[in-house]
Amino acid sequence: MRKPETLLLSSKTNLRVKQLIAALDVSGAKRAYTLLSGEKLVKEWLESAPNEAQSRLSPVRWLRLEGQKKDPIERELELETWELSEKLMTAISGSPSPPSIALVMELGAEPVGQIADLAIVPWGIQDLGNLGAMLRSAAAFGFQDALLGPGCADPFSPKALRGSMGAAFALRIRRLSAAHFSDGRWMALDSRRDASPISEANLSPPLRLMAGNEGHGWQGSGLPAGCARTSIPTIGVESLNAAVAVGIACFEAAKRNGVLN
């Protein structure tokens, strides 16, 4: 069996490098490739339980920082390796400092079929860090599906994957469609005073927990008929950060539904 190649690359003008950067810059429904940046995130994927979400990503090639020794984790997947200069690794990964290792992944088709009992619905969430944090909270508290509403950032961008730290390997992520509204209890987190406090909200499954835009929430967004609104009471501030609110609501839903027992 032929040993996988190791290529030393240092220029952004290299055709292979240009093609990879272009592929990683694609977002949304057209994205076909992404990047697991850093050993910790790669390990999250390797150690995640085999499931539909985890298997949606297929490894393509290793990226290793020039001058670094072969990481033991690379032996788990015999793939072609690119050794990149520090400047090039920083440019490709989008990280503030270059990771010593990264894994290029091919992204498969969106999952289909019935939605799980607990699903998170980010709606108009534009900050990649916020989106990643929301998905991580949802996965931590037993949510299995994520339905992406209109105007939502790309959860498979390298930055969002870093923010979620493995949540994308535990949640089945797909785009929201009109057909999804025929199933489940739809509950929108809302800081308006006329929204019922979360202590009184019905969070029993099948629950679709919706989170609106970081800046204006649901203002200007027409929620579908049948969606209830719930708020998290605060003291001294008007509202919570969207990702923080989602974490609290997911914990509350998990607690009431026996997920944490």
Give domain limits for the chain: 6-107, 118-256
Does the pLDDT at position 248 exceed 90? yes
Under 8 Å between Cβ of 60 and 3? no
pLDDT at 241: 83
Residue 101 phi/psi, 5-degree rounding, is: -150, 150
Q: Which of 4-8, 50-54, 208-212, 237-241 has the highest mean pLDDT?
A: 208-212
The whole-number average pLDDT for the span 118-141 is 91
Q: What are phi and psi of 208, to 5 degrees?
A: -120, 100
Of 16-30, 60-74, 75-89, 186-200, the range with the lowest mean pLDDT is 186-200
Q: What is the pLDDT of residue 219?
A: 63
pLDDT at 217: 64
Give the per-residue pLDDT at 83. Answer: 93
β-pairing, 101-107 with 33-37? Answer: antiparallel
Calculate what percentage of the chain has a pLDDT beyond 90: 48
Packed helices 128-140 and 242-256: angle between N→C axes, nearest 10 degrees: 10
Per-residue confidence (pLDDT) for residue 216, from 0 to 100: 64
pLDDT top residue among 61 and 260: 61
> Taking the model in full, what pTM does it have?
0.87
At residue 212 the predicted structure's pLDDT band, cuts being 50, 70 and 90, is: confident
Angstrom distances, CA of residue 261 to CA of 12, 22, 256, 257:
52, 46, 10, 9
Burial of 221 (0-12, 13-18, 19+ CB in 10 A): middle
Pairing of the two strands 228-231 and 185-189: parallel
CATH of span 118-256: 3.40.1280.10
pLDDT score at 12: 83
pLDDT at 82: 93
Among 2.60.40.290, 3.40.50.880, 3.30.1330.30, 3.60.20.10, name the CATH number for the domain at 6-107.
3.30.1330.30
Residue 236 has a pLDDT of 73
Residue 103: pLDDT over 90: yes
Question: Binning pLDDT at 50, 70 and 90, where does residue 154 land?
Answer: very high
Element (H, E) at 172: strand 172-175
2 or 118, higher pLDDT? 118
Q: Mean pLDDT throughout 14-30? A: 91
Token pair of 240 as six digits: 């919570």
Say if residues 65 and 89 touch (Cβ distance below 8 Å). yes
pLDDT over threshold 70, residue 3:
no
- pLDDT score, position 256: 93
Q: Which of 141, 233, 143, 225 is closest to 196 using CA atoms? A: 233
pLDDT at 23 over 80: yes
Q: What is the pLDDT of residue 37?
A: 93
Mean pLDDT across the chain, nearest whole number? 88
Cα separation, 20 vs 13, in Å, equals 11
Cβ-based neighbours of 226, under 8 Å, separated by 6 or more: 181, 186
pLDDT at 237: 75
Using one digit for the tens of pLDDT, what is the confidence trace for 167-204?
A: 889 999 999 888 888 889 999 998 777 788 999 999 99
Residue 214: the pLDDT is 73
Q: Is the dihedral of CA 94, 95, 98, 101 positive or negative?
A: negative
Residue with tokens 């015999």: 78
